Amino acid sequence: MKPVVLVTRKLPAAVEDRLLRDYRPRLNPEDRLYDGDSLIESAAGADAIVACHTERFTAQVIDRLPQSVRILANYSVGFDHVDIDAAKRHGLVVTNTPGVLSDATAEVTILLMLGAARRAGEGERLVRTRTWKDWSPAFMVGTQVTGKRLGIVGMGRVGQVVARRARGFDMTIHYHNRRRLPPDQEQGAIFHPTPEDLMPNCDFLAFHCVSTPETRRMLNTERIALLPDGAVVVNASRGAVVDDEALIEALKSGKVAAAGLDVYNNEPNIHPGYRDLPNTFLMPHIGSATKETRDAMGFRALDNLDAFFAGREPGDRVA
């Protein structure tokens, strides 16, 4: 008998086709959002759940999951929406999808850098609202990217791809990571052992770290003060790494010239201050939103399911 798999969101057609071939999936064609109660109810009798970061698997939710559910295969590289300690206590296997989002997320990071630095959001609004009047030497002057210093917090897969792409703009790469990379991965990037050491070297600052208690609100008032005046901040990792009030205040004062954001605290109900500022370039969490990447994420999640139900250790197990 094929395992029953609850699929919490509508997935790409190729991924759902594979699910229909190999499992007994409970699909979500309406792409409705599950809350804790409806998630528990829908999981009755399921052997597995394929979930996204939009579902919160708190300790309370995991405590109430049917005992039949043995694996939670995340359709995401991040797993901060899952209480990993609670999963371990219940013997619930948890997996993620690393390694397949790097190029797409790096592309969005470069988009955020350029969009924020060159005031793309403001310019696009001028064109659409027919308020673009003329050209002058002082019109829409932004920050040049080429030749600047890029600081990267989190030099994992995505951070390393961002560094490679940024070198095409002749940027000098500085980074902070939990540990220094070997020289062949550094590719000349300059390591800083603490965020405080990194900040003064960042004309541009990009976050590519996971959300943990240690990284929560990593960008705060004290660290923003260490940035060069007029720095540009971009975030395509997790909203939790930014103290919203601190960043908004720095954007208002001009200490930070602009911010390009793809992720937020409490998304999609983001801090309204970002919307009110002209020097923010805002994207709706589209870092992995290419056909190629979304298919690859689904196939990676199903590879983990396949391994688990074949009695093998899933390659991307995080709990």
Question: Among the options 53, 149, 192, 285, which is catalytic?
Answer: 285
- For residue 214, indicate whether it is catalytic: no
Q: What is the b/e burial string over 79-115, where b = at least 16 CB atoms within 10 angstroms of the residue's CB? A: bbbbbeebbeebebbbbbbbebbbbbbbbbbbbbbbb
Strands 149-153, 204-207: pairing is parallel
Question: Among the options 16, 122, 249, 267, which is catalytic?
Answer: 267
Q: Between helices 291-309 and 13-22, what is the axis angle to 10°?
A: 20
- For residue 285, indicate whether it is catalytic: yes
Question: Among the options 238, 294, 312, 317, which is catalytic?
Answer: 238
Give a three-class secondary structure readout of the chain.
CCCEEEECCCCCHHHHHHHHHHCEEECCCCCCCCCHHHHHHHCCCCCEEEECCCCCECHHHHHHCCCCCCEEEECCCCCCCECHHHHHHCCCEEECCCCCCHHHHHHHHHHHHHHHHCCHHHHHHHHHCCCCCCCCCCCCCCCCCCCCEEEEECCCHHHHHHHHHHHCCCCEEEEECCCCCCHHHHCCCEECCCHHHHHHHCCEEEECCCCCCCCCCCECHHHHHHCCCCEEEEECCCHHHECHHHHHHHHHHCCEEEEEECCCCCCCCCCHHHHHCCCEEECCCCCCCCHHHHHHHHHHHHHHHHHHHCCCCCCCECC
Annotated catalytic residues are: 238, 267, 285
